[in-house]
Chain A
Amino acid sequence: MSTIAPKSTPTYYDEVVRKGYTRRDFAKFCAMMGAYLGLSQSGLAQVTDALKTKPRLPVIWLHFQECTCCSESFIRSSHPMVADILLDQISLDYTETLMAASGFQAEEAMKNTMEKYKGEYILCVEGSVPTAADGVYCMIGGKTSMQILEEAAAGAKAIIAWGSCACNGCVQAAAPNPTSATPIHKLVSGKPIIKVPGCPPIGEVMAGVIVHVVAFGRIPELDGLGRPKAFYSKRVHDTCYRRPFYDAGLFVETFDDENARKGYCLYKVGCKGPSTYNACGVTKWNNGTSFPIQSGHGCFGCSEANYWDNGRIYSRASAFPGFGIEATADKVGKVALGVTAVALAAHAVATNVRKQNLIHNLEKEGQQSEKDLDNENI
């Protein structure tokens, strides 16, 4: 396997044919990607056209503090061609997990790609960057991940932050964050960054983002948090097939109750679907087989920032910064209400004691007027 792209770069279609796929397979793949991206017929033609005529995009795929679940998810996306054309052969300029080269050879390959395709290559980053202790917590080839990122980002056309690690730090950035794990967008500026959060993101979503960049030559439309709108504009809750149970007010209370057997809504057992933006309810996982809620487990909120610190997995009530994990809003509220009631009762007693004369005079005055009315000597 050549880690250095040949001079006249083949198109995606060339590579697909070389790999033994038929034109029909290719068309199917394009249609599938078009559907995931929510494209119209004309958009679909554009995708097909682009993959047929455009030279493949050089990609450098870096792995920092992460578990490689993003890569695992990506190579398991439902169409085998996704992995084949986007990763396995063509875009494999540099990726620690999947490339054949190692050591000096691998570093050389990355350097070559960076020089040859300066300003053209897409930089994919999986994992966060530890900034504590000068970055010694994650070093590859004698360099810190921060150095590698800076070098690679300088010549990148765009950066794709794969997964929650690269987007928001994920578990290693959870309190107390001993390595100061930092997401990519806080370290790199001046480059378009596409955030594809999730732990991992859905393989088809990852493929869709790359196909979009290839086909249209620009990054997809992003929301306020930098996520592609095509996949992250709806809550899991809004596309959930259990939503009718939620609207009806029918909830599972424990995982082994009758309501759980009936497949009711998992809201009360901590489902984070109502505050999580992802495509799980539509695209699902493992070739559209299922997704957490369909398997009877609430959404974890894995694609939301700080989901490890923000909430407990099996309860709606979650921790609030500074109040600790046990202090939920309702608990604190009830205690505060009790304290207020006691304080007001004490105040009422104090009023009657301290303002005795005042109240007494008011009463007397009232009684006097009452008498005056009877006596008609107003």
Chain B
Amino acid sequence: MKNNKVHRLRRVFVWELPVRIYHWLNALCIVALVVTGLYIGSPLVLQSSSEASEKFFMGWVKTIHFIAAFLFFFNFLFRIYWGFVGNKYADWRNFVPTNKRYFKEMWQVLKMDILMMKGKEHLSVGHNAVAGFSYFITFILFLIQCITGFGLYAAMSNFWVAKMFAWVPTMFGGEILLRQVHHWTTWLFILFTVVHVYLVFYHDYVEGRGEISSMGGGWKFIEDEVFDEVKAEKQKKMLAKKEKMETHMKPLT
């Protein structure tokens, strides 16, 4: 890029308000769940001169964990619903590979962002294919964590939502293994969060499209040229379609 011309940017509304609320509620829940969860797994040894009946520290840690768990669960269900009614950037097809183009884009992203190869920078206004797919994997992790977590919780609850998971300990043949799966999956959440935050900064840094702030206001800023490119591509496609139609029509006339 020798010509150092100044790009004109256009504001694109990417993340709708429900998506943003989901995102931050989810982030809050995950932080609360990970912190309290790791504490429950390995609590500190407190010294106290007061009676146990006057304290409820572990009880509160667990209470926070359970409240956050319910919020997390319903928030997750909401996001799945929004994947069917939200805008195109929130659509479930962003997460589940359904066509060849998805895999092609994944390869492109891997080449440019991970392997750092030189070439044409890809453009994804919403999620890129790799990011989308990684969120699909996190959804599976969410599911595992909800199933194992509520499975552990079911025996001490009368709430029908928790009771729905009463079959889980049976499937795992007891709670010891169940607890282990729940604990190990927690670490995958931590690793995901670290990589996720890093990549948000990375994209903001190399693209300059307002990646970080997009989850605040919902806007991303896309270069004018991109619109031209997309327009040209569409016209090309239309033309090709028209030609194809015409060649089909010919024998008839």
Interface positions of A (Cβ within 8 A of B): 168, 223-225, 233-235, 238, 244-253, 258-259, 264, 267-268, 272, 274-277, 301, 304-307, 310-311, 316-318, 320-321, 329-330, 332-333, 336-337, 340-341, 344, 347-348, 350-351, 354-355, 357-359, 361-362, 364-366, 368-369, 372
Q: How far is the CB of A256 from chain B (nearest CB, A)?
A: 14
Question: Do B42 and A358 have beta carbons less than 8 Å apart?
Answer: no
Known A-B contacts A247-B56, A250-B46; A351 and B180 likewise in contact (beta carbons under 8 Å): no
Which B residue sits closest to A311, measured CB to CB?
A: B176
Assess the A238–B156 pair: CB atoms within 8 A: yes
Q: Are B45 and A329 in contact (CB under 8 A)?
A: no
- Asked if residues A253 and B45 are in contact (CB atoms below 8 Å), the reply is yes
User: Is there contact, CB below 8 Å, between B198 and A344?
Assistant: yes
Q: In the complex, are the beta carbons of A316 and B208 less than 8 A apart? A: no
Count of CB-CB pairs between chains A and B under 8 Å:
159
Are the C-beta atoms of A245 and B1 separated by less than 8 Å?
Answer: no
CB–CB A275/B43 < 8 A: no
The reply to whether A244 and B52 form a contact with Cβ atoms under 8 Å apart is yes
Return chain A residues, CB-CB under 8 Å to B230: none
In the bound complex, CA of A344 to CA of B194 (Å): 9
Question: Among the listed B48, B156, B187, which residue makes an inter-chain contact with A329, where contact means beta carbons less than 8 Å apart?
Answer: B187
B binding-site residues for A, Cβ under 8 Å: 1, 4, 6-7, 38, 41-48, 52-59, 61, 114, 116, 118, 121, 155-156, 166-167, 169-170, 173-180, 183-184, 186-187, 190-191, 194-195, 198, 202, 205-206, 208
**CB nearest to B116 among chain A residues:** A354
In the complex, how many angstroms separate the beta carbon of A194 from the nearest chain B beta carbon?
16
Q: Is the CB of B180 within 8 A of A329?
A: yes
Contact of B116 among A223, A350, A362 (CB under 8 A): A350
Partner of B176, one of A225, A318, A361: A318
Q: Check if B42 sits within 8 Å of A330, measured CB to CB.
A: yes
Given A333-B190, A365-B4, A365-B6, check contact A246 B58 (CB 8 Å): yes
Question: A368–B7 Cα gap in the complex (Å)?
Answer: 10
Contact A310 B177 (CB under 8 A): yes
| Cross-chain contact A301 with B176 (CB below 8 angstroms) | yes
What's the nearest-Cβ distance from chain A to residue B149, in Å?
Answer: 14
